[in-house]
């Protein structure tokens, strides 16, 4: 009953906001992370700094620079769940998360490791909102927040369609969830996600489309990661996000507690009704 009451309050607040904000312009005008059902929890749908100067003023510290990785990368309170990537002009260029090596179930598998960057004790998954080649060169004059989504690892790059209608067969459409969007998943080998998808093929990236436009995405890890920024969906609710849920999620020998991170690119994710 408590869950239903909180959900009802959250949806009422979201619907009320429809009269205050315009959702139709499709602009990437914010950067928010972490979905949560409690509308009064400040950690849910939290806006992140989109300039280097703002990040510094809010207590973020430089973790790595352009001589070490592709971008000037910032961290808050040593929490690797969210790493902000800024270009040489000090404008947001992307977002990343680092997960420790040695996780159970040999995660990430050899098949999906090419999407990550090997950084010693960690594997880092990086998403860029501009061309990765321009991050440290400053070649292109630009505005916040960006105009594309590119996942770039050591050996593999995924360029994400901005329009839902342009999704290739590599992607599998899942289900709509209000305040998130239409979920889109991927098998690293390009097969459709279904009951028989093997755990080692499941991509750590999912996409979020609303009104046919990309306005969010997320990371999904087969690992119990401790940061409060991560969400930990119960396996019993996974059928709310997949049309055909992989059976490996029910196998205790293949998966444990899950960690996800929803990332939103506009100001009003609570108005995401797909």
Mean local confidence (pLDDT), 196-221: 98
Contact by Cβ (8 Å): 181, 208? yes
Tell me the per-residue pLDDT of 47-65, one tens digit each, with 9 for 90 and over. 999 999 999 999 999 999 9
**Bridge partner list, 150:** 128, 159
- Cβ(66)–Cβ(72) under 8 Å? yes
Mean pLDDT, all residues of the chain: 91
Residue 8 has pLDDT above 80, yes or no: no
Q: What is the 3-state secondary structure (H, E, C) of 89-153?
A: CCEEEEEEEEEECCCHHHCCCCCCHHHEEEECCEEEEEEECCCHHHCCCCCCCCCCCCCCEEEEC
Higher pLDDT: 99 or 144? It is 99
State the virtual CA torsion across 128, 134, 135, 141 in degrees, nearest 10.
-100
Structural contact between residues 214 and 162, judged by C-beta atoms closer than 8 angstroms = yes
pLDDT exceeding 90 applies to what percent of the chain?
84
Global confidence as pTM = 0.89
Predicted local confidence at residue 228, as pLDDT: 95
- Report pLDDT digits (tens) over 142-192: 667 889 999 999 999 999 999 999 999 999 999 999 999 999 999 999 999
Among 19-28, 52-61, 248-257, name the one with the lowest average pLDDT: 19-28
């Amino acid at each position: 009953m408590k869950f239903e009451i909180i959900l009802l309050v959250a949806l009422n607040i979201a619907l009320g906001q429809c009269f205050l904000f315009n959702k139709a312009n499709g602009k990437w005008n914010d950067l928010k992370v972490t979905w949560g059902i409690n509308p009064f929890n400040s950690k849910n749908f939290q806006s992140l700094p989109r300039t280097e100067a703002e990040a510094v003023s809010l207590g973020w510290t430089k973790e790595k620079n352009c001589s070490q990785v592709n971008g000037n990368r910032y961290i808050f309170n040593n929490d690797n769940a969210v790493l902000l990537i800024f270009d040489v002009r000090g404008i947001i260029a992307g977002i990343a998360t680092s997960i420790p090596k040695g996780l159970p179930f040999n995660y990430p598998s050899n098949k999906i490791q090419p999407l990550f960057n090997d950084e010693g004790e960690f594997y880092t998954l990086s998403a860029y909102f501009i061309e990765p080649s321009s991050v440290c060169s400053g070649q292109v004059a630009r505005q916040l927040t960006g105009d594309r989504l590119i996942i770039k690892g050591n050996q593999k790059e995924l360029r994400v369609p901005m329009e839902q209608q342009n999704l290739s067969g590599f992607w599998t459409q899942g289900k709509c969830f209000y305040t998130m969007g239409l979920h889109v998943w991927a098998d690293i080998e390009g097969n459709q996600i279904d009951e028989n998808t093997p755990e080692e093929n499941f991509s750590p990236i999912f996409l979020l489309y609303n009104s046919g436009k990309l306005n969010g995405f997320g990371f999904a890890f087969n690992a119990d990661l401790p940061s409060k920024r991560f969400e930990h969906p119960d396996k019993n609710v996974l059928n709310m996000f997949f049309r055909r849920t992989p059976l490996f999620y029910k196998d205790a020998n293949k998966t444990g507690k899950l960690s996800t991170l929803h990332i939103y690119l506009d100001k009003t994710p609570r108005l995401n009704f797909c």
